[in-house]
Chain A
Amino acid sequence: MNIGMGFSESGDQIQAVNDAITQAIVGLGNLQASMAFIFTTTEFANPLVLKTANNLLEGTPILGCSSLGLITNQGIFKHGIAVLLINLDQQVFFNTALIKNINENNPLDNGKELGEKLLYGCKNVHRSLSIIFLDGLTAQTAGIINGLQEKLGRSFPLIGASASDNLTFQKTYQYFNNEVSSQSCCGVLFGGKFHFGIGIKHGWNPLGKMRYVTKSSGNIIQEVDHQPAVKLYEDYLAKDTLELFKELQRISIFYPLGVYLEGENEYLLRNITSIKDDGSLVTQGEVPENSKIRLMISTKDSCLAAATAACQEAKRNLGLQKTKFLMVFDSASRFSLLDKQRAKELAIIKEAFGENIPLIGIYTYGEQAPLNSINYLGQSYFHNQSISVLAVGDQ
């Protein structure tokens, strides 16, 4: 496997895509790119940018999405375009797919459809990993993942990112070949000799006693311990619903809900995105009825410690393989929480894998990864507030 990376923050979008792709092509040497990952900040989410990229790469499959910020080896950027070109060995197979118009009422079917498309032509090949990018504003991510897992296998390694915008929560974009779309999900399935290690951590700790979700449906928690769900936050933060609503985003970032999962080491975090008039809490991912939940708390230090732990886990899972490149999906909440200390998080990643490790990453509205990724037997879930690190080995 060989790779080439490029980045540009030029204000001229076409110039920027040209610059970034040229750098990546130069990095790849004389080799032909098998596929490309393109990540941009929202202002670059322009069909012309993708068309230019597609022309420059002469039809090489492209996958990617928009984000509020880009993580590269050179730093964290709030404006720009980052490109990763991969030249895969002949022993590695891959297939890319896109599903559009994600149906909010039937996310399971959407997931199944994506799974089928990804499996097309790969049925008799040893399947290794799937990477997906989906609209970060959809409330049915968990359903899509479930559908996908029905086709790919419940414990099949799956890592993904929910695309973000510039924290306006208006529209996110997914890139597939020469197409820019929203409310869609695109992905790649790798098969054959493809080595990788995944690490995911959030750094939040439970506080207070365990509570029970007594009534919920999908991503809406109606009652906790037979009381309107909002009462949980009212009690803990000593604020009424109106005050909570005003500070919802801060509360969502600092004090998410932790869902206890039997057999897993960590709580699964859920951001609160809204409070309904009846006191129900709307979360970014689904919370099943009878779930045991707790309020979670964190500090910047524990967030940074989680980054270290995620890197160590990814390294451990990669085994003896030398890391070829890293792909990082970091929560937009962590972007806000860490603020000036974002650079520290990047330094931690570089310290773990080496100062000059090729690195590409984005800030996301949700992360998909196995909760317990020690031996890939752990099931993939939809996460919030987490940092997931994918270390791809030199095949």
Chain B
Amino acid sequence: MLSLIFFSICLIIAYLGISLFIKMQRLKELANRVAALTNSLEEMDEQAKLIMRTDMELNKAQEELSKKIAGLNTLQELSREMNATLEEKQIFQKINTKHLEDLGFEKALAFLWKNPEKEFQLCLSIGYSQTESTKIRSTINTDRNFYLDLISHDQTASSIFIPEGFISKNKICELFLVRAFIICPVLTQEGDQGFIFTGTQDSQVSITEGDSELIALLGNQIGQTLDNARLFEKTWKSQQALEIKVEERTRQLTQAINELMKISKHKSDFISSVSHELRTPLTSIKGYAAILLTGKLGAMPDEIKERLEKINRHSDELVHMVNDLLDISRIESGKANMKAETLELAPVVDKIADLLAEQFKDKNISFKSAIPDDCRKVLADRSQLERVFINLAGNAIKFTPEKGAISISARRLDNKTIQIDVSDTGFGIPKDAQESIFEEFFRVDNIINQEVKGTGLGLALVKNIIQAHKGKIWVKSSLGEGATFSFTLAAGE
């Protein structure tokens, strides 16, 4: 019995021992697991730290990037708006609260240094009352040397960087009532320079180098726009002065032209009245000379008859001259009646050739005309055009030696204009006289003119007729090589 009890006790002890061993093993396993879990947790916690640090850097970078993009967009918009302005005063007005907020600020001031007054003047104020901005301006003018130094050294001051010798950060914050700020010079090529201040009361805003760069860009943009505006104003003022000068000169010229026209009218009137006055006694002289020549009043000795014939001939020349003068004055005063009509040019030329045929024959001068099909019709007064041809061709005959040649030709210049040339192989006209020959009473001083008679009115009359037809007349000639008188007329339909 005792041994049974002993055996049972042994069994129980063995069982308890085994159980304890198993439990111990399990506890050890659990402790290992807990250690492993703790280890994992620690590892995960380390990873969490890594995530958090990375996240913080990423957030910062993203924030800076977003800020920069927003800032650049705002600057682009501002730049566009400023460039559309050419008035200095309006440039600063383009900056508004929204632009400023997009740049990350809610307060801004801009000052330009006015050299004559020796002070900074306020050009922009956002986020400040008038009292506040006046107070700030006054303090800035007291401390002007600091700000002038900043401008002259092209330095930017901000709550993260204060240049050496500049006012302390705290004083600036106190003066401008902000927690963070940027002060940036506004530099120009010429004229007033200044600076722009941007700031914020927001304690969460921290200024970065990127912010300083953006405001520096804004300062540059303002400076450039100021330069543009000033250049424009300068150009505008010069242009205005030029316009005033041109206006004055035009007025003077108009006055001179009017004066000339008045003189010309007086001249025409004078010529006209004198010519009329001359013609009456001339007609009488010519009439009496003609009566005497008929011999009705008695026979006259040959010497007297010869003299009377001279009186008659010279009277004719004088009448011719007076008529030419009258025509010139009529044309000049616009009293001449020009009946412009479409004419066939070739028959007119042929008629002239017929009229002058005897004179061509006398001097053995060949004549030819060339009127192409595209120049058949011109717009002109028939009788006046005939006078032009008679004068030009008559002159040509006078100055062309025997066996010479004269031609009349035409060519089309464009849809509306025809050029007619009257050429000869005569003595030619010296260069220096080519302009003057169209003036009244001008005659080239040469041997031929001394021999050949003329009034010096023919070409003046021709010129007046052509001008009355809104055409032009000119001559091309060299001494000994003949001359070509050219004029233009409107093409007929």
Binding site for B on A (CB under 8 A): 78-79, 166-169, 207-209, 235-238, 249-251, 253-255, 295, 297, 336, 339-340
**A340-B66 in contact (CB<8A):** yes
Contact pick for B179, options A168, A237, A336, A339, CB 8 Å: A168
**B203-A167 in contact (CB<8A):** yes
Q: In the complex, which residues of chain A have a beta carbon less than 8 angstroms from the beta carbon of B60?
A: 250
1/0 per residue, CB under 8 A from A, across B6-50: the answer is 000000000000000000000000000000000001101100110
**A340-B52 in contact (CB<8A):** no
Given A78-B101, A208-B48, A340-B70, A297 and B204 contact (CB-CB distance below 8 Å): no
Interface assignment of B316: CB less than 8 Å from any CB of chain A: no
Contact pick for A166, options B41, B56, B201, CB 8 Å: B201
Could you list 20 examples of A-B contacts with CB < 8 Å? A78-B101, A166-B201, A167-B202, A167-B204, A169-B203, A207-B52, A208-B48, A208-B49, A209-B41, A209-B44, A235-B49, A236-B52, A236-B53, A237-B53, A250-B56, A251-B56, A254-B56, A255-B56, A295-B48, A340-B66
Q: In the complex, which residues of chain B have a beta carbon less than 8 angstroms from the beta carbon of A169?
A: 203
Q: In the complex, which residues of chain B have a beta carbon less than 8 angstroms from the beta carbon of A250?
A: 56, 59-60, 204
CB of A351 to closest CB in B, whole Å: 24
The 10 closest A-B pairs by CB, nearest first: A208-B48, A167-B202, A209-B45, A249-B204, A207-B48, A168-B201, A236-B52, A236-B49, A208-B45, A167-B204
**A336-B204 in contact (CB<8A):** yes
B70 — nearest CB in chain A belongs to which residue? A340
Interface assignment of B244: CB less than 8 Å from any CB of chain A: no
B58 — nearest CB in chain A belongs to which residue? A299
Q: In the complex, which residues of chain A have a beta carbon less than 8 angstroms from the beta carbon of B202?
A: 166-168
A235 — nearest CB in chain B belongs to which residue? B49
Bound together, the chains give a CA A336 to CA B59 distance in angstroms of 12
CB of A237 to closest CB in B, whole Å: 6
Bound together, the chains give a CA A208 to CA B47 distance in angstroms of 8
Contact pick for B52, options A79, A167, A255, CB 8 Å: A255
Bound together, the chains give a CA A8 to CA B48 distance in angstroms of 46
Contact pick for B48, options A78, A166, A236, A339, CB 8 Å: A236
Q: In the complex, which residues of chain A have a beta carbon less than 8 angstroms from the beta carbon of B49?
A: 208, 235-238
B55 — nearest CB in chain A belongs to which residue? A297
CB of B430 to closest CB in A, whole Å: 86
Interface assignment of B51: CB less than 8 Å from any CB of chain A: yes
CB of B181 to closest CB in A, whole Å: 14
Given contacts A209-B41, A236-B48, A249-B203, 15 further A-B contacts (CB under 8 A): A79-B97, A166-B201, A167-B204, A168-B179, A207-B51, A208-B48, A209-B42, A209-B48, A236-B52, A236-B53, A237-B52, A253-B204, A255-B56, A295-B48, A297-B52
CB of A360 to closest CB in B, whole Å: 22
**A297-B51 in contact (CB<8A):** yes
CB of B26 to closest CB in A, whole Å: 26
Q: In the complex, which residues of chain B have a beta carbon less than 8 angstroms from the beta carbon of A79?
A: 97
CB of B67 to closest CB in A, whole Å: 9
**B41-A254 in contact (CB<8A):** no
**B203-A295 in contact (CB<8A):** no
Given A209-B44, A236-B48, A339-B66, A254 and B203 contact (CB-CB distance below 8 Å): no
B38 — nearest CB in chain A belongs to which residue? A209
1/0 per residue, CB under 8 A from A, across B176-206: the answer is 0001000000000000000000000111100
**A168-B52 in contact (CB<8A):** no
Q: In the complex, which residues of chain B have a beta carbon less than 8 angstroms from the beta carbon of A340?
A: 66, 70
A294 — nearest CB in chain B belongs to which residue? B48
Q: In the complex, which residues of chain A have a beta carbon less than 8 angstroms from the beta carbon of B201?
A: 166-168
Name the residue in B56, B60, B97, B179 with the highest tally of chain A Cβ atoms < 10 Å from its Cβ. Answer: B56
Q: In the complex, which residues of chain B have a beta carbon less than 8 angstroms from the beta carbon of A78?
A: 101
Q: In the complex, which residues of chain A have a beta carbon less than 8 angstroms from the beta carbon of B97?
A: 79
Bound together, the chains give a CA A84 to CA B178 distance in angstroms of 33
**B59-A254 in contact (CB<8A):** yes
Bound together, the chains give a CA A236 to CA B45 distance in angstroms of 9
Q: In the complex, which residues of chain B have a beta carbon less than 8 angstroms from the beta carbon of A336?
A: 204
Bound together, the chains give a CA A238 to CA B56 distance in angstroms of 11
CB of B42 to closest CB in A, whole Å: 8
CB of A211 to closest CB in B, whole Å: 10
CB of B205 to closest CB in A, whole Å: 8
Q: In the complex, which residues of chain A have a beta carbon less than 8 angstroms from the beta carbon of B44?
A: 208-209
Name the residue in A168, A169, A336 with the highest tally of chain B Cβ atoms < 10 Å from its Cβ. Answer: A168
1/0 per residue, CB under 8 A from A, across B89-127: the answer is 000000001000100001000000000000000000000
Q: In the complex, which residues of chain B have a beta carbon less than 8 angstroms from the beta carbon of A255?
A: 52, 56
Q: In the complex, which residues of chain A have a beta carbon less than 8 angstroms from the beta carbon of B106?
A: 166
Q: In the complex, which residues of chain A have a beta carbon less than 8 angstroms from the beta carbon of B45?
A: 208-209
Bound together, the chains give a CA A207 to CA B53 distance in angstroms of 12
Name the residue in B53, B70, B202 with the highest tally of chain A Cβ atoms < 10 Å from its Cβ. Answer: B202
Q: In the complex, which residues of chain B have a beta carbon less than 8 angstroms from the beta carbon of A209?
A: 41-42, 44-45, 48
Bound together, the chains give a CA A129 to CA B52 distance in angstroms of 39
CB of B404 to closest CB in A, whole Å: 97
CB of B102 to closest CB in A, whole Å: 10
B63 — nearest CB in chain A belongs to which residue? A339
A11 — nearest CB in chain B belongs to which residue? B97
Q: In the complex, which residues of chain A have a beta carbon less than 8 angstroms from the beta carbon of B203?
A: 167-169, 249
Bound together, the chains give a CA A169 to CA B203 distance in angstroms of 8
Name the residue in A78, A169, A207, A253 with the highest tally of chain B Cβ atoms < 10 Å from its Cβ. Answer: A207
